[in-house]
C-alpha cells in the first residue's frame, strides 16, 4: 500500500538521495545535507503548530510503500514565498516602438525582473523516483497536497503557484541560461541553480540587469525554450492545467520554465473534495467503484492514500487496513476526492 505522510528527521538520507537523483534544475531540492536537514526540521516544527499562518515555511511530504518501507517520492508546499528572501521571476511583457512619420510600427516581447508572486503559496519539490514512475501513484503524490490545503486552508495564501522545471537537453544544458544568464553570472548553470536552491539569492539582485530585456535580441535557441518545460515535467504540467492552473506570463529567471497559478477556490481538487464519515468494512469494493483520494484531517499525523470507492452521500467505507493506515476509526471524518 502506498501512503502519503509528513517527512520525518529519519528521512534525511533518502531525501538526499532523491536530491542527487533529480539532477540540475530541481531548484527546491539541492543536494546539500545541512540545507535539507533544516528543511525537514522546519516542516516538522510548522506542522506541530496549531496556529500556523502563511509564512516562509515549507511543508514536506513523502510517498511511502508501507509494504517495503521504501520512499517512492516527495512533494511539498511552501506556505508563502518571498517573505524571508526575494522571490524572482521574469514577466513577459510587450513594448511598442513606432513612428507615424515613417509609417513604422513594431511590437517587441520583453523580459522584466519582478517579485510579483511574493506572498503566494507554492507547490514545490514534486519528485517521483524512477523505479516507481509506472506504479500509478504519481496522482496520489501530487494531488494529496490539495487535500491537505483544503483541510487547512488558513495555513496558505489564496493564490497558489507552481514553478515548472524548464527545458534542459541530454547534456543538462539550458539554452536560455547559455543565451542570457551566463552573460551576467559568469558561472555554469548547475552552480547558479545550486546557489539559489540553497537559499543564496542575493547574487541575483546584485548581478541581474534591472532594465527590460528584448527577447528578439537573444539567441534563437534561447528564445525557443521560453515557457517550455522539461520532458519529465510535462505530466505534472498537464495535471495542474486540468486542475485550473494557468500560465500568467511569468517564467523562471534561470531556465525559463513557466510558472502556473490559480486561486484556491478555482482548484478543482480543493473545491470538489468533501468530508465524509468513515465506516470500517472489509467487503471488496463494488463493481463500478471509482478511484478516490482519501485523507484524514490531521496535521502532524496527516495521511493520504488512493483507493477505489463507491461513497455514499455522507459516508465512505474503508477496510480495516486502510483505516489503520490513515489513523482513522469508525465514525471519524475523512476528506475524499473523486479522481
Catalytic residue positions, numbered:
230
Are the beta carbons of 167 and 255 closer than 8 angstroms?
yes
Question: What cell does 210 get?
Answer: 534591472
Cα–chain center distance at 309: 27
Report the DSSP beta bridge partners of residue 60: 76
Are the beta carbons of 329 and 323 closer than 8 angstroms?
yes
User: Looking up cell 465512505, which residue turns up?
Assistant: 316
C-alpha torsion sign, points 100, 101, 106, 108: negative
User: Looking up cell 533544516, which residue turns up?
Assistant: 38
Collapse the DSSP code of 314 into the 3-class scheme (helix H, G, I; strand E, B; otherwise coil) and give the result. Answer: coil
Q: Any idea what the Cα angle at residue 338 is, between residues 319 and 271, rounded to 5°?
A: 125
Are the beta carbons of 307 and 321 closer than 8 angstroms?
no
Amino acid at each position: 500500500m502506498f501512503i502519503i505522510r509528513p517527512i520525518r528527521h529519519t528521512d534525511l538520507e533518502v531525501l538526499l538521495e532523491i536530491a542527487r537523483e533529480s539532477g540540475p534544475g530541481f531548484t527546491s531540492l539541492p543536494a546539500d545535507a545541512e540545507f535539507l536537514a533544516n528543511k525537514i526540521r522546519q516542516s516538522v516544527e510548522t506542522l506541530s503548530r496549531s496556529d500556523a499562518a502563511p509564512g516562509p515555511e515549507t511543508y514536506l511530504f513523502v510517498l511511502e510503500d508501507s509494504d517495503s518501507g521504501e520512499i517512492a517520492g516527495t512533494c511539498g508546499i511552501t506556505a508563502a514565498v518571498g517573505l524571508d528572501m526575494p522571490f524572482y521571476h521574469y514577466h513577459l511583457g510587450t513594448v511598442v516602438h513606432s513612428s507615424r512619420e515613417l509609417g513604422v510600427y513594431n511590437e517587441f516581447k520583453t523580459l522584466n525582473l519582478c517579485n510579483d508572486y511574493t506572498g503566494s503559496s507554492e507547490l514545490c519539490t514534486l519528485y517521483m523516483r524512477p523505479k516507481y514512475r509506472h506504479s500509478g501513484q504519481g496522482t496520489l503524490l501530487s494531488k494529496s497536497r490539495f487535500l491537505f490545503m483544503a483541510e487547512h486552508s488558513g495555513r496558505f495564501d489564496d493564490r497558489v503557484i507552481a514553478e515548472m522545471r524548464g527545458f534542459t537537453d541530454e547534456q543538462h544544458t539550458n539554452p536560455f541560461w547559455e543565451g542570457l544568464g551566463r552573460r551576467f553570472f559568469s558561472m555554469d548553470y548547475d552552480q547558479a541553480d545550486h546557489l539559489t536552491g540553497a537559499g543564496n539569492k542575493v547574487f541575483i539582485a546584485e548581478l541581474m540587469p534591472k532594465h527590460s530585456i528584448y527577447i528578439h535580441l537573444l539567441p534563437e535557441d534561447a528564445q525557443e525554450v521560453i515557457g517550455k518545460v522539461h520532458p519529465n515535467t510535462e505530466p505534472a504540467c498537464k495535471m495542474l492545467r486540468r486542475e485550473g492552473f494557468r500560465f500568467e506570463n511569468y517564467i523562471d529567471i534561470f531556465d525559463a520554465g513557466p510558472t502556473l497559478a490559480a486561486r484556491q477556490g478555482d482548484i478543482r481538487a480543493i473545491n470538489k473534495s468533501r468530508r465524509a464519515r468513515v465506516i470500517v468494512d472489509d467487503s471488496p469494493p463494488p463493481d463500478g467503484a471509482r478511484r478516490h483520494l482519501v485523507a484524514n484531517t490531521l496535521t502532524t499525523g496527516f495521511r493520504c492514500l488512493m483507493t477505489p470507492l463507491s461513497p455514499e452521500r455522507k459516508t465512505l467505507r474503508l477496510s480495516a487496513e486502510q483505516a489503520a493506515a490513515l489513523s482513522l476509526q469508525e465514525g471519524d471524518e475523512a476528506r475524499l476526492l473523486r479522481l
